[in-house]
Structure 1
Amino acid sequence: MAHQLHATCIAACDQCAVACHHCSTACLQEQDVKMMARCIALDMDCAAICQLASAAMARGSEHVHAICALCADICDACADECGKHTMDHCLACAEACRRCAQECRRMAQSPQATSTRSTSEHGH
């Protein structure tokens, strides 16, 4: 099943989404919220694409290569931005984003990603 085949990448996406949600919320509590605007926006984008990628892999979507490639790019952007800040939540988020980007790139290039479509589709 697709979710078992891609368990490592799904876990990285799920962990990244949680880290991004936490980071965006913590950034809103910072003294200079305006300075954190790009970080917050990227956290939100990254969490959303990570959740989409996780779900796409779990169901064996035919678009998983494209979704994971985009997820990796957005994770890289988020990691770069979060890495500019010294707060613990930003640094933890940057690390989760880097790990997710690496797993998503591996997933996007995997030849198995296209062969994971559920056979139940053909039974409808």
Structure 2
Amino acid sequence: MALSELDVGDEADQCIDNCFEAVQAAEYCADQCADEGEEMAKCIRLCRDVADIASTHARFMARNSNYSEELAEVCAGACEECAEECSRHDADHCQTCAEVLSECAESCRNMMA
């Protein structure tokens, strides 16, 4: 069975995809920032938080959990904070991460509506 065949709805399906993209972008950004020195510590911490929260949120949505709405709010907030931090850095991986996380935050906010 393909993910597209799950009965979670189009909006939730898109949010699940965005969350998994956020996980990938955040993990990659954190890994790349680790080589750039101590000044990137905040970026690394926020990226790691986003990766964990977005992964959890996607899994909860996939199983139609009653806690998805609360996690959507947490995920959106974490993505927004991390995107803001990443956008302050010139590195391509940070800029890409900021873009992906902004999309994920918007998708999570739409899930709350």
Q: Pairwise CA RMSD of aligned residues?
A: 1.1
User: What corresponds to 1:9 in structure 2?
Assistant: 15
How many percent identity over aligned positions? Answer: 36
- Secondary structure of 1:6's counterpart equals helix
Task: Tell me by how many angstroms 1:4 deviates.
Answer: 5.7
Unaligned runs of 5+ in 1: 110-124
- Contact 1:72 1:100 survives alignment (8 Å): yes
- Contact 1:3 1:59 survives alignment (8 Å): no
- Give the residue type in structure 2 aligned to 1:18: Q
Task: Tell me by how many angstroms 1:71 deviates.
Answer: 0.3
Bigger-Rg structure (1/2): 1
- Asked if residue 72 in structure 1 is aligned to residue 76 in structure 2, the reply is yes
Q: Comparing 64-73 with 3-12, which one deviates more in the overlay?
A: 3-12
- Contact 2:69 2:112 survives alignment (8 Å): yes
User: What corresponds to 2:3 in structure 1?
Assistant: none
- Asked if residue 107 in structure 1 is aligned to residue 111 in structure 2, the reply is yes
Task: Tell me by how many angstroms 1:2 deviates.
Answer: 2.0
- Asked if residue 40 in structure 1 is aligned to residue 60 in structure 2, the reply is no
User: What corresponds to 1:54 in structure 2?
Assistant: 58
What is the TM-score of this pair, normalised by structure 2? 0.91
- Contact 2:11 2:111 survives alignment (8 Å): no
Kindly tell me the number of residue pairs found equivalent between the two proteins: 107
Question: For 2:10 and 2:52, how far apart are their aligned partners in 1?
Answer: 22
Unaligned runs of 5+ in 2: 1-6
- Give the residue type in structure 2 aligned to 1:95: E
